[in-house]
Amino acid sequence: MGVEKITSKILGEAESTAKDMLRESEATCRELLEDAETRAQEMIRTAEKESDAERRKIVKRSVSVAEIDGRKILLEAKQKLIGDCFDRAVEKIVGMDTERYIGFLAGIVRSSGNVTGEIVMNEKDSDRLGKRLAEKLNKEISGGKFVLSEEKAKIKGGLLLKNGPVYTNGSIETLVEERYDELSSEVAAILFDD
């Protein structure tokens, strides 16, 4: 199952969460605007001795600041939701059932074009499925000579493929991060329906 399909599933789950968070953000924006309006009214009363033009400037400035603050809060909430979707994608991939995950990892190695190398994984994946992955690769790739490394990587999932001093990064975090710019606008369009 590709990253796109997993991301699509996560987007569906995240859509209702996104709407709730947007409602909360919009409520916060409304509160900011109301607060700004209240402050502006107080400023108007204080500034009654000043000219009408000056009072209007003060009100306009206060409202503008509140609107900008509201937009910033909304943007931050949207960016956090998008980031959360990608974090969930990593979790979903890492949480696949073992056979499917092994197949996914084998696909990463195949796409690298390597036929030999040491497979470096995090401790959990190495213990759970590392040897099986190496065996699968050696069977499926002509001339395959893959071994499970004793070295452990500090990654959430996926693998690093070591050939001498050169590492090919196939960590799930990196794979998802590489697609972030490409997919974030699609994720935003689905979540926020803008």
Q: How many CB atoms lie within 10 A of CB 156?
A: 17
Question: Is the CB of residue 20 less than 8 Å from the CB of residue 102?
Answer: no
**pLDDT at res. 49:** 63
Distances (CA, A) of 179 to 50, 75, 112, 182, 183: 56, 21, 17, 5, 6
Residues 55-81 have pLDDT tens digits of 778 888 888 888 888 888 887 877 888
Which of 30, 21, 27 shows the shortest CA–CA distance to 77? 21
Q: Say yes or no to pLDDT of 172 above 60.
A: yes
Q: What mean pLDDT, rounded, does the chain reach?
A: 84
Q: Is 159 helix (H, G, I), strand (E, B) or coil?
A: strand
Residues 8-36 have pLDDT tens digits of 677 666 676 767 777 777 777 677 677 77
**pLDDT at res. 7:** 64
**pLDDT at res. 177:** 87
Question: Is the CB of residue 49 less than 8 Å from the CB of residue 31?
Answer: no
Residues 111-132 have pLDDT tens digits of 998 899 999 999 999 999 999 9
The predicted model scores a pTM of: 0.63
Fill in the DSSP letter of residue 120. E
Please list, residue by residue across 109-136, b when 16 or more beta carbons sit within 10 angstroms of its beta carbon and e when fewer do: beeeebbebbbbbbeebbeebbeebbeb
- The residue-averaged pLDDT of 157-171 equals 93
Which of 137, 145, 179 shows the shortest CA–CA distance to 163? 145
Output Rg (C-alpha) for the chain, integer angstroms.
26
**pLDDT at res. 163:** 92
Q: Which of the pair, 14 or 194, is modelled with greater confidence?
A: 14
Give the CB-side neighbour count of residue 63, counting CA atoms within 13 A: 9
Q: Which of the pair, 188 or 158, is modelled with greater confidence?
A: 158
Query: What is the distance, to the nearest Å, from the Cα of residue 17 to the centroid of all Cα atoms in its chain?
Result: 15
**pLDDT at res. 121:** 95
